[in-house]
Structure 1
Amino acid sequence: MKQTESLSEVHQSVDTGKRTGWRRILSFIGPAYLVSVGYMDPGNWATDLAGGSKFGYQLIWVLLMSNLIALLLQSLSARLGIVRGLDLAQASRNAYPKWVNIPLFGLAQTAIVACDLAEIIGMAIGLNLLFGLPLIWGISITIFDTVLLLFLMNKGMRKMEVFIVSMVFIVGISFLVEMFIVEPSLKEIVKGLEPSVLSGQALYIAIGIIGATVMPHNLYLHSSLVQTRKFERDDKGIKEAIKFNFIDTAVALNLAFFVNAAILILAAAAFYKNGMHEVAEIQDAYKLLGHIFGGVAPSLFAIALIAAGQSSTITGTLAGQIVMEGHLNLRIQPWLRRLITRLLAIIPAFFTILYFGNDALSGLLILSQVVLSLQLGFAVIPLIHFTSDKKEMKGFAIKLWVKILAWISAAVIVALNIKLVIEEISGWATATHGWYIYGLIIPVAVLIGLLLMYVFVYPMLNSSTIQQKNIPHGNAMAIDPVDQIHYTRIGITVDFSKNDLNTIRHALIQGGKKADYHLIHIVETAGAQYHGKAALDHETLSDSENLKKYGQNLADLGYHGIPHIGFGGAARAIAEITKTNDLQLLVMGAHGHKGLKDLIFGTTVDAVRHKITIPVLVVR
């Protein structure tokens, strides 16, 4: 059966019902910490360092506002997952037409790639600072953290959360020590909490901070991760789960805020105060920390950077899986989707280093966070619609004052993004009159704007349609009286191993003595691959003899066996024999490979199943 739960591998894997008191509260703690690491990734570092070194303490209020918005939206995301048992992507698939979900997936995937790009650059810079490894090599090494993700997924949700929290702890401790070293001015920090008008470079960095803090893919992630907790689905259980998850979210996001504020304050105290207003690059910050403070300050900085990048990579991968399964109802192997996302992120990083040099990476980091911010509206607007829907959320729909705050937050994010897009396009148009500005960039920006408007308006006009479509697979159908099926042409794949006896026994049960049994074996030697039926090597001759023995054995028992030797690729050859002999049922023995062996030797059963249209009985 196809799994429909979000992150089905770990769905309801943490049982909260058997615990009491503090242990019960602690059993809900975890999902928000996985989400919070996204607020402490290298992308945040870049925007915070740029903001602190260029504008001192002036942008602390933007950080605080972003954190409050993130807290509000993450609590809505958790509520959606707890009450409806759907993640944000699944809810979008049920609520919007199919054609809308495709660009929504594309935009969410772009945000995840942009986030992954930040992790790659951060990890590469951290390795470069600590060990002197060239950035191009550091970027290449980040491909292999896929293995770490698979290892943690196999160990279960709790162990993954412990790993993430330990990474967050390393980052927090590192910056706590840094704060004692730089000794910032408390008076100026308090003054920085006062809102100010933003424009030009300050607006660009502020929007980067918002994108880096209120990450769109984290809204998808949180709505899924809360479903890893198993609790009673009555009103009391749901209310309790919402309360405990809000506590989890508040604590985790406030910790993330203090880490981000520490980075911005560090940049303001160490660089802006000393007249170094252009320290937007992580490498420069590392070097200057060494020059100004010496000791362990730069090493702590680099260790925290690697920890932040590694933990954020894992949560980004989970978000990618949720987005693909939710919007497109498409599931692929976690290692493959991780590899695809990573390669999509590595390509721009490689291109930037090769053509613009190492110094351009910092600009790419900040751009990646601006891309995140531009995608926020497409996640935030549906989230507010879904959690406001009284038909679906019943008594757990958000209150009016929460809805007003949420729509104000969405309006602020969208308005700032629109202002930035207009400013950027105007700047490009003034600097260059290239055809692509008017022929490509402006039309694409208009289309994305129209899509955002559609996403906003559609749920208000089609609430009845949403109610009807909110079914994962469709309705159960009536089962008519079933006649017994008599198979007369049954295929049996054999490989002359100890598994053959069980495979043949199951096949004989299906057809009895009235059926013809087509014994199929494929020769896969290099000679067979090249010469096909003309191959007469030792293995081919030996296998032919063995197949005849099986046929004779069946004849002695009163069954009719017909031998078939195939050559070359097993799946293709089996499918060919099946179609040529018009078989009605194929019985195959499973090879029993797991994990790495499946990767190396492949899965013949799956490959055959996709090439034929008859039933396949798989025997272990």
Structure 2
Amino acid sequence: MGTTAIAGTKTARAPHWLLLGPALVAGVAYLDPGNVASNVTAGARYGYLLIWVVVSANLVAWLIQYLSAKLGVVTGKSLPQLCGERIGSRAGRIAYWIQAEGVAMATDLAEVIGGAVALWLLFDMPLLAGGLITGTVSLVLLTVQSQRGPRAFEHVVIGLLAVIVLGFTWGVVVAPPDLAGVAAGLVPRFEGTGSVLLAVSVLGATIMPHAIYAHSSLTRDRFRDRRGLSTPTLLRATRIDVSVAMVIAGGVNVAMMLLAAANLAGVDGTDTLEGAHAALGESLGPVVATLFAVGLLASGLASTSVGAYAGAEIMQGLLRTRVPLLTRRLVTLIPALIVLSLGVDPTFALVLSQVVLSFGIPFALIPLVRLTADRQLMGQHVNRIWTTLAASLAAAALTALNGVLLWLVLTGA
């Protein structure tokens, strides 16, 4: 059935700020350890050169995340659910699930490793033990979501988001960047193939499939009980929610790059998380370095929780079966723990995870654009022609750029 039965006709007044939350949770995906590694490396190697890439990525992310959120609000279903309904055969659903689950595993790999590295930096904890703790905390947060509801889950993740903001922006307050350099960094340009590769890496680390899957689920769960609120009211609040989330995520990502550009430019070893932490300690002192590690820990804990939430929705939406919470969590966690137990270099594992994520971009973006442009599904809230055109161009560009990243990494170019 179309959206009219779902949208409802009742209206109610409610402050928009009371409806905020889903985008802030999904926005944590834009502040995961993969983003930290990409932005710090870009700032340390090229200074302010690639600031425009972060700004551009967040503008594109606004459109993509809004469409995902709108899909959940209007239809009352998630992107994985709708994909599962439209894939006719069970074999097709399983094949689609395998690639989507691979994306979830790659996401967890980066996030669990980030949390493990943070615990190592803060407490000299072995990486495997840190990975186990990070995974356990995410399981606890998933339990909060399933037993206490989406609002409680939002509160916890938003609390971690506040820690992330403090951890990654304090260094910029202590050592402000050069304003002329910042302004110059807003002008699109490159300096050699190395800067192109890093720019594509920044884009690849910013817009990730699991955030697209998760956002539609978050809005569906949050607004399942509408309490008389009309769909237009929820969509207006959603636009505000996405705008606030993207401003925060974009601001923190820019701050990471500025911190590295102002204080780590030309310093050896800053292309790893541990190297950046050590260099910050030498340059700005132990307080800034400690806050950086705390921000990294909060990033790992929050983003792996959202990633696990996305993985659970992917499994349930595509396989059409309910799986116990612990089982769903272990499906994506075990590969990350295996990588840590094998002693694989954390930075290499982060790069590998970004390569796997590159495969999943078109499988999330193309269905999202097609579904939100389907008038029978979306009713009066179907995309306008210019929205569909912009989203299609963004999907094509991101798919191509992630293909470039994949080719450059695999060929060693």
Structure 1 length normalisation: TM-score? 0.62
What is the distance in 2 between the residues matched to 1:138 and 1:254?
A: 31
Q: Which of the numbers 373, 383, 396 marks the counterpart of 1:388? A: 373
In structure 2, what residue type is equivalent to 1:315? V
**In structure 2, do the counterparts of structure 1 residues 48 and 423 end up closer, same or farther at CA, with 3 Å as the change threshold?**
closer
Are 1:263 and 2:248 an aligned pair?
Answer: no
Kindly state the Cα deviation for residue 212 of structure 1 after the two structures are TM-superposed.
2.0
- Cα shift readout 1:397-444 (whole Å, capped 9, x = no counterpart): 10111111111111111221233344445559xxxxxxxxxxxxxxxx
State the aligned residue count: 402
- Higher Rg of the two aligned structures: 1
The answer to whether the aligner puts 1:141 opposite 2:141 as a matched pair is no
Summarize deviations over 1:567-593 as a string: whole Å, max 9, x none: xxxxxxxxxxxxxxxxxxxxxxxxxxx
The residue correspondences of 1:518-529 to structure 2 (distance < 5 A) are none
2:398 paired with 1:418: no
2:171 pairs with 156, 164, 178, which one? Answer: 178
- Aligned residue in 1 for 2:307: 316
Q: Which residue of 1 aligns with 2:121?
A: 129
Q: CA-to-partner distance for each residue in 1:195-240, whole Å, 9 max, x for gaps?
A: 2258744333323322221111111111111112146599x81111
Partner of 1:329: 320
Residues 1:331 and 1:211: Cα distance change in structure 2 (over 3 Å): farther
1:229 aligns with one of 212, 215, 223 = 223
Contact 1:217–1:319 (Cα < 8 Å) also in 2: yes
In structure 1, the partner of 2:297 is: 306
- For residues 424 and 366 of structure 1, what CA distance do their matches in structure 2 show? 8
Alignment of 1:136-535 (within 5 A): 136-153=128-145, 154-197=147-190, 200-227=193-220, 228-230=222-224, 237-272=230-265, 275-276=266-267, 278-351=269-342, 353=343, 356=344, 360-427=345-412
8 A Cα contact 2:84 2:319, kept in partner = yes
Q: 1:270 to 1:345 in 2, by over 3 A?
A: same
Distance in 1, Cα, partners of 2:362 & 2:191: 20
Q: Which runs of 5+ in 1 are unaligned?
A: 1-11, 429-620
**Secondary structure, counterpart of 2:49 in structure 1:** coil
1:45 and 1:137 map into 2 onto residues whose CA distance is 22
- From the superposition, tell whether residues 19 and 395 of structure 1 become closer, same or farther in structure 2 (CA, over 3 Å): closer
| Distance change (3 Å), C-alpha of 1:425 and 1:146 | closer
Rounded Cα–Cα distance in structure 2 between residues aligned with 1:19 and 1:391? 26
Q: Secondary structure at the match of 1:244?
A: helix
Q: Which has the higher contact order (CA 8 A, sep 6+)?
A: 2
Matched AA of 2:175: V
One-letter code aligned to 1:94: E
> How many Å separate the matches in 1 of 2:411 and 2:95?
25
Q: Distance in 1 between matches of 2:116 and 2:405?
A: 29
Comparing 419-428 with 280-289, greater Cα deviation is found at 419-428
Aligned counterparts of 1:209 and 1:196: Cα–Cα separation in 2 = 15
**Which structure's residues are more often helix, by fraction?**
2
Pick closer, same or farther for the CA change 1:427–1:306 going to 2, 3 Å.
closer
Runs of 4+ that moved beyond 6 A = none
Distance change (3 Å), C-alpha of 1:145 and 1:318: same
Shift of 1:104: 2.0
TM-score, normalised with respect to structure 2: 0.91
Give, as a single letter, the amino acid of the residue that structure 2 aligns with 1:196.
R
- Report the Cα offset of residue 32 of structure 1: 0.6
Give 1:74's aligned residue: 65
Q: Which of residues 42, 47, 55 is equivalent to 1:56? A: 47
| AA matched with 1:164 | V
Map of 1:106-121 to 2, 5 A cutoff? 106-121=98-113
CA contact (8 A) 2:150 2:218 kept: no
Q: For residue 405 of structure 1, what is the amino acid of its counterpart? A: A
Q: 1:370 to 1:203 in 2, by over 3 A?
A: farther
Instruction: Give 1:136 deviation, angstroms.
Output: 3.3
1:39–1:256 contact (8 Å) kept in structure 2: yes
- Separation in 1 of the partners of 2:268 and 2:48? 12
State whether residues 128 and 337 of structure 2, in contact with CA within 8 Å, keep that contact through their aligned partners in structure 1.
Answer: no
Q: 1:361, 1:211 → 2: CA distance? A: 18
Displacement of 1:367 in angstroms is 2.8
Q: Report deviation, 1:146.
A: 4.8
Q: CA RMSD in A?
A: 2.3
Q: Deviations over 1:13-47 (max 9, x none)?
A: xxxx997442xx23321111110111111111111
Q: 1:90 aligns with which of 81, 88, 104?
A: 81
Decide whether the 8 Å contact of 1:42 with 1:118 is kept in 2. yes
Q: Distance in 2 between matches of 1:146 and 1:78?
A: 23
Cα offsets for 1:520-553 (capped at 9, x unmatched): xxxxxxxxxxxxxxxxxxxxxxxxxxxxxxxxxx
What SS does structure 2 have at the residue aligned with 1:296?
helix
Q: Structure 2 CA distance, aligned partners of 1:231 and 1:330?
A: 23
Q: Which letter does structure 1 place at the counterpart of 2:210? A: H
Partner secondary structure for residue 45 of structure 1:
helix
Distance 1:397 1:180 in 2: 43
Residues in 1 aligned to 2:194 and 2:349: alpha-carbon distance in whole angstroms: 15
Whichever structure has more strand as a proportion of its residues is 1
Cα distance in structure 1, aligned partners of 2:285 and 2:226: 55
* Correspondence for 2:97 among 96, 105, 126: 105
Q: Structure 2: where are the runs of 5+ without partners?
A: 1-5
Structure 2: which amino acid aligns with 1:412?
A
State the shift of 1:271 in Å: 1.0
Is this contact kept in 1: 2:204–2:402, CA < 8 A?
A: no
CA apart distance, 1:394: 1.5
Offset from partner CA, 1:467-515 (integer Å, 9 cap, x none): xxxxxxxxxxxxxxxxxxxxxxxxxxxxxxxxxxxxxxxxxxxxxxxxx
Counterparts of 1:152 and 1:262 in 2: how far apart (Å)?
31
Deviation at 1:388, TM superposition (A): 0.5
Residue 261 of structure 1: how far off its partner (Å): 0.8
